């Protein structure tokens, strides 16, 4: 059995050293080190990796980190929600988001045309610029074909962006499909609707895209899931692994607890009852803010995978 060992500072400690030491500290630090280990194992075992995250994480500075992970070959399938994709596009086209406060005068922000996501701020102007852009993009897509799957549409958009820190760009460039099961749940949905009003034969085929996520991996593949936050992003990935015999590896990072029975708080143990992850799988659930915990677990994994030559160049 692993012993508790005293954590000790030394000058210029590396992230990997700190996460190594977490193994012996206790509480969530132990789970975080385990999560990092599970990520290393899934990659070394050549598992197909589903990376899922929620929209607010793309609002944050994790956005470029996700793009980098795709570039480095960590993720094979992305599942997320549409709000984040809109913001990835905004950032790719030069929009600047700012750091604010959780406690603020929201009526005043509203008057200033500023929208708040926790302690992050997005200007109305960024949405307006997005809207100009997306109408144009939809026109181009429509010229190519009338009926699109969501993942197909997102790939095309990614190819139009010129930003190496964009999730959509890196995913398109690296042939990593992005699934977004509720594509209409955002400004994007509104513009799809307006476009369809003018072009009634324009169709988004979400049903066909279910086949695409289903065949993105197979029953025979070893599979891993890294689910950040909850929402349908998480559920859609593990529904897909369930239908393919269950994942061998799973890391859940979330602020939600199991006690309300929500998907956000469902842990990797509960996933075993469904067969979403296999009975004998390697799993870890870390409770905490993903903006802190995920970089920690991932940086150690990247350092290790890089040493083993397992990152894509």
**Residues between 211 and 250 that touch a second copy (CB under 8 A):** 211, 214, 229-232, 235-236, 239, 243
Give the integer Cα–Cα distance in Å for 286 and 33: 9
Residue from 152, 177, 181, 224 touching a second copy (CB under 8 A): that is: 181
Closest among 155, 92, 172 to 129, alpha carbons compared = 92
Sign of the CA dihedral with 259 first, then 241, 311, and 149 last = negative
Min. distance of Cβ 277 from a second copy in angstroms?
10
Stretch that binds a second copy, among 40-48, 152-160, 219-227, 301-309 (CB under 8 A): 301-309
Closest among 253, 55, 97, 89 to 171, alpha carbons compared = 89
Instruction: Please check whether residue 223 is in contact with residue 278, taking contact to mean a CB–CB distance below 8 angstroms.
Output: no
What size, in residues, is the chain?
A: 313
Nearest CB to a second copy, comparing residues 160 and 204 = 204
Long-range contacts of 111-114 (CB under 8 A, 24+ apart): none
201 binds a second copy (CB under 8 A): no
Min. distance of Cβ 226 from a second copy in angstroms?
15
- Mask 72-111, x = binds a second copy (CB under 8 A)? x--------x-x-------x----xxxxx-xxx-xx-xx-
158 binds a second copy (CB under 8 A): no
Partners of 116 in the beta sheet?
121
Min. distance of Cβ 79 from a second copy in angstroms?
10
Span 252-291, contacts to a second copy by CB under 8 A: 255-266, 269-275, 279, 287-291
Give the integer Cα–Cα distance in Å for 187 and 173: 25
Min. distance of Cβ 254 from a second copy in angstroms?
9
Closest among 146, 170, 142, 201 to 85, alpha carbons compared = 170
Residues 6+ apart with CB under 8 A from 50: 75, 76, 77, 78, 79, 217, 223, 224, 225, 226, 227, 237, 240, 241, 247
Instruction: Please check whether residue 168 is in contact with residue 157, taking contact to mean a CB–CB distance below 8 angstroms.
Output: yes
Residue from 41, 73, 184, 221 touching a second copy (CB under 8 A): that is: 184
Nearest CB to a second copy, comparing residues 134 and 266 = 266
Min. distance of Cβ 47 from a second copy in angstroms?
20
Stretch that binds a second copy, among 40-48, 128-136, 190-198, 219-227 (CB under 8 A): 190-198
Token pair recorded at residue 34: 């385990």
Count of positions on this chain that bind a second copy (CB under 8 A): 130
Stretch that binds a second copy, among 41-49, 67-75, 152-160, 168-176 (CB under 8 A): 67-75
Give the integer Cα–Cα distance in Å for 240 and 150: 16
Q: How far is CA 76 from CA 28, 79, 106, 144, 178, in A?
A: 27, 10, 39, 26, 9
Span 35-54, contacts to a second copy by CB under 8 A: 54
Min. distance of Cβ 100 from a second copy in angstroms?
7
Stretch that binds a second copy, among 35-43, 56-64, 154-162, 218-226 (CB under 8 A): 56-64
Nearest CB to a second copy, comparing residues 143 and 260 = 260
Span 112-141, contacts to a second copy by CB under 8 A: 114-121
Q: Which residues are catalytic, by number?
A: 276
Min. distance of Cβ 293 from a second copy in angstroms?
7
């Amino acid at each position: 059995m692993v012993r508790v060992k005293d954590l000790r500072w030394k000058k210029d400690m590396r992230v990997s050293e700190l996460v190594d030491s977490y193994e012996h500290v206790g509480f969530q630090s132990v789970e975080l080190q385990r999560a990092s280990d599970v990520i290393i194992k899934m990659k070394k075992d050549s598992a197909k990796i589903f990376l899922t995250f929620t929209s607010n994480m793309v609002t944050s500075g994790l956005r470029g980190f996700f793009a980098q992970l795709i570039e480095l070959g960590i993720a094979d399938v992305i599942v997320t929600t549409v709000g984040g994709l809109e913001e990835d596009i905004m950032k790719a086209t030069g929009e600047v988001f700012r750091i604010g406060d959780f406690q603020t005068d929201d009526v005043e922000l509203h008057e200033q045309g500023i929208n708040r996501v926790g302690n992050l701020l997005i200007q109305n102007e960024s949405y307006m610029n997005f809207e100009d852009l997306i109408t144009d993009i939809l026109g181009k897509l429509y010229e190519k074909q009338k009926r699109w799957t969501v993942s197909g549409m997102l790939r095309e958009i990614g190819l139009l962006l010129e930003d190496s820190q964009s999730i959509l760009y890196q995913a398109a460039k690296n042939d990593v499909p992005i699934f977004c099961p509720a594509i209409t749940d955002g400004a994007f949905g509104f513009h799809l609707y307006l476009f369809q009003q003018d072009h009634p034969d324009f169709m988004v085929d979400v049903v066909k895209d279910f086949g695409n996520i289903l065949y993105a991996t197979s029953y025979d593949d070893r599979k891993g899931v890294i689910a950040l936050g909850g929402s349908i992003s998480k559920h859609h990935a593990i529904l897909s692994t369930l239908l393919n015999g269950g994942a061998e590896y799973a890391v859940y990072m979330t602020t939600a607890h199991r006690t309300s029975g929500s998907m956000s708080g469902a842990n990797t143990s509960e996933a075993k009852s469904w067969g979403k992850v296999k009975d004998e799988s390697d799993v870890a659930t870390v409770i905490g803010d993903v903006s802190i915990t995920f970089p920690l677990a991932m940086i150690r994994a990247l350092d290790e995978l890089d040493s083993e030559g397992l990152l894509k160049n």
